[in-house]
Amino acid sequence: SVQTLRMYETEGLIIISKTEGNQRIYSDSDIERLRCIRKAINEDKISIGGMKRLHGMIPCWDIIKCSSEERNVCPAYKNHLGGCWTYKHEHSVCAELDCRSCNVYKLSSDCGHIKEQIKNITLVHHEQLLEHSPVYDEVAAGAVS
């Protein structure tokens, strides 16, 4: 329904393009995103709040390659209550980006991509932790078998 679509927009689950006359335009990727939202709500029983938190867990800083200075002032990096596109970005690379065409937003339109991004960043950080641990240093040096 129209009310449901507007609620998804208000909640930050979807960014809609509008004409000069302020009419909403839905692209094929918008339709796919809406299908994902409906499936998550109806079949997977994920609430809108739950979906917002999932979007908030997408490692946007890793996808965009933000500097540590940008991460330190980024509300999306510090919070997890919605996708990065729901926050106001003033002092980062994202301030100049169009969220609708951003890779982070595009990746979040497919529920499977969200899981893959979280898995990838988790694996990378796990490997980095191992590389800097004393046990890893001993294994790499051949001291531990």
Predicted confidence (pLDDT) per residue in 56-100, tens digit: 888 888 888 888 888 888 899 988 889 999 998 887 788 888 898
Identify the band that residue 117 occupies on the pLDDT scale cut at 50, 70 and 90.
low
Burial class (CB in 10 A: 0-12, 13-18, 19+), 51: buried
Total residue count of the chain as it appears in this document? 145
Tell me what percent of the residues of the chain surpass a pLDDT of 90: 23
The model carries a pTM of 0.72
Instruction: Report the 10 Å Cβ neighbour count for 141.
Output: 8
**32 has pLDDT over 80:** yes
Is residue 114 over pLDDT 80? no
Q: Which residues of 112-133 are buried (b: 16+ CB within 10 A; e: fewer)?
A: eebeebeeebeeeeeeeeeeee
